[in-house]
Structure 1
Amino acid sequence: MNSAFPLDLDLDNSLVLDGSCEFSVNADRVVVRVGAIRNLRGIENLSGSLAVELWALHHPLDRVEPEGQPGAKRVAATTIGEISGQHFVPDCRYDLLFEQPLPGAWQMSLLLREWNGHGYTTRSVVYFPVPFQVDVGLPETKATEADTKAKVEAKAKPGVPPTVPAAKASSPAESAELAESAAKTAGKKSKASVVPGAPVNLNTATVDEIASLKGVSPKLAKEIVATRPHKDIKRLVEVKGIGEKLLRAIRPLITLD
């Protein structure tokens, strides 16, 4: 079994990546799957905005935050909104832009991070112990299923209330309904309803979310953010870097509302 490394970091384990976690790389795209993302805090708690990030490291994290660790590179990321205490989002799947690291053997790690008002704090980490190999002269690197899977068990610390029973959604729409229902129970509307495959709102999405659109580079994503608000999709061609061909390609995948 390709199990996760034990965690030896100062994490509170109140927000966790649960169940089977895996990633699959194909050229400049990566699909990240997580069994469930859980908020084990009290029912009145609403998490900060959460992000799922895939990092390439030379060795497992020796500190809670990856920034500043020599050689660490964030290769994919997306924000997923907020989750109410004692609730979760099941069957998560994210199709993201993949920034391939330099040639070599890389320790891949999946991080769940929470916005604290000034930056992101790491709350949960999953390690993929089999190295991800990037060879010289091979622009398209694919990781095998055995290389990219890890099963993790979320264990609450003493004093942390148990999570609600998991429910498997049969579709992304049902997953969104489950998250919204959970938020209403807590008396607050959860923003953890970013459904994989839903249109990307160019007026509210992050640079990473916009860059996850096929054909949109990080540089172009920053330009789109810098020229907001956008009121007419047809006028997006006025943004430097967006032509008629690209606009036609991403038109079904975006919204301004």
Structure 2
Amino acid sequence: MSFLEQINQGVELSIQGCGYKIENDRVMISADFIGSNRDELNMSGTIQIAFSAQNQQNREPQNLLLASTTIGELRGQHFLSDCSYDLLFQHPPTGTWQLSLQLREWDGLEYALIDEVFFDLLYQTQAMSDAAAIYSNEHTTDLRELQTTSPKESITHTESVGSGDGHRLINKIKKAELRAVKGIPKKALERIITERPFQSERAIVNVKGMGPKMLKKLLEKLSN
């Protein structure tokens, strides 16, 4: 019996030993183990790590995506250990929420839920006072725009990518061309190469070392 089979008999893809730490508009996510118990010749679809929240006060289930990133494909009988991700975090609305870390796999149409770990400690958000709301509106412009605009409106750049389809350009461009871009952190470029393909510009913004301004700069350089 393989190492993975000993840990997760009957589980094809799994995530274990999960934790998180929220600091302002960032969340640090960790996982001791992400593995595939499939046949060693089986290559998974692109895997997504999703930090989600379920409302504990509504009768109807409400699931919100608070942060996410993709980690590429995983071959059968292989695993990743001591994983950590620093992601842009979107605070849920006022209420009481149960947080979870989800492992999703791209099936050609969508990211399908494969495994999920729930955190016992509930997360509570409260309505801000008028003064706090004014301060927040004046000092969190970039985050607010990222949360309230559609992917097509969130980033404006040259005409070829101004429709919000910049992720398509980044998905298909050659690795050598990406690595040759000047003015973008090399580590961020390598993370983009590793985490492709992206489903939206928002997903690229979540890559550590990026952000709206850096993505705009990258797309402008690639489209020239």
How high is the TM-score relative to the length of structure 1? 0.51
Whole-angstrom distance in 2 between the partners of 1:197 and 1:90: 22
Q: Which has the higher contact order (CA 8 A, sep 6+)?
A: 1
* Aligned equivalent of 1:113, options 104, 107, 110: 104
Relative to 1, partners in 2 of residues 1:71 and 1:105: Cα closer, same or farther, differing over 3 Å? same
Whole-angstrom distance in 1 between the partners of 2:192 and 2:24: 22
2:212 alignment counterpart: 216
Name stretches of at least 5 consecutive residues in structure 2 with no aligned partner.
1-9, 137-186
Percent identity between the two aligned chains: 30
Task: State whether residues 200 and 209 of structure 1, in contact with CA within 8 Å, keep that contact through their aligned partners in structure 2.
Answer: no
* Aligned equivalent of 1:133, options 124, 139, 146: 124
2:49 corresponds to 1:49: no
Whole-angstrom distance in 2 between the partners of 1:125 and 1:116: 17
Relative to 1, partners in 2 of residues 1:232 and 1:216: Cα closer, same or farther, differing over 3 Å? closer
Whole-angstrom distance in 2 between the partners of 1:203 and 1:37: 18
2:32 alignment counterpart: 35
Report the residue type matching 2:29 in the other structure: V
Whole-angstrom distance in 2 between the partners of 1:204 and 1:47: 13
1:152 alignment counterpart: none
1:232 alignment counterpart: 221
Q: What pairs with 1:1-257 in structure 2 (closer than 5 Å)?
A: 13-18=11-16, 20-59=17-56, 70-137=61-128, 198-201=190-193, 205-207=198-200, 208-212=202-206, 215-216=211-212, 230=219, 232=221
Relative to 1, partners in 2 of residues 1:47 and 1:135: Cα closer, same or farther, differing over 3 Å? same
Relative to 1, partners in 2 of residues 1:31 and 1:14: Cα closer, same or farther, differing over 3 Å? same
Report the residue type matching 2:192 in the other structure: V
Q: CA deviation at 1:209?
A: 3.3
Whole-angstrom distance in 2 between the partners of 1:58 and 1:115: 25
Q: CA deviation at 1:197?
A: 9.4
Deviation track 1:8-58 (CA, whole Å, cap 9, x = no partner) reads xxxx6210002x210111111111100011001111111111100011102
Task: State whether residues 49 and 101 of structure 2, in contact with CA within 8 Å, keep that contact through their aligned partners in structure 1.
Answer: yes
Q: What secondary structure is seen at the aligned counterpart in 2 of 1:232? A: helix
Relative to 1, partners in 2 of residues 1:210 and 1:87: Cα closer, same or farther, differing over 3 Å? same
Report the residue type matching 2:221 in the other structure: D
How many equivalent pairs are there?
Answer: 153
Whole-angstrom distance in 1 between the partners of 2:25 and 2:222: 26
Name stretches of at least 5 consecutive residues in structure 1 with no aligned partner.
1-11, 60-68, 141-194, 236-257
Report the residue type matching 1:132 in the other structure: Y
Task: State whether residues 70 and 196 of structure 2, in contact with CA within 8 Å, keep that contact through their aligned partners in structure 1.
Answer: no
Task: State whether residues 29 and 86 of structure 2, in contact with CA within 8 Å, keep that contact through their aligned partners in structure 1.
Answer: yes
Whole-angstrom distance in 2 between the partners of 1:47 and 1:203: 14
Relative to 1, partners in 2 of residues 1:111 and 1:46: Cα closer, same or farther, differing over 3 Å? same
User: Which structure dedicates a bigger proportion of its chain to helix?
Assistant: 2
Whole-angstrom distance in 2 between the partners of 1:112 and 1:71: 18
Report the residue type matching 2:212 in the other structure: V
Task: State whether residues 72 and 196 of structure 2, in contact with CA within 8 Å, keep that contact through their aligned partners in structure 1.
Answer: no
Relative to 1, partners in 2 of residues 1:136 and 1:94: Cα closer, same or farther, differing over 3 Å? same
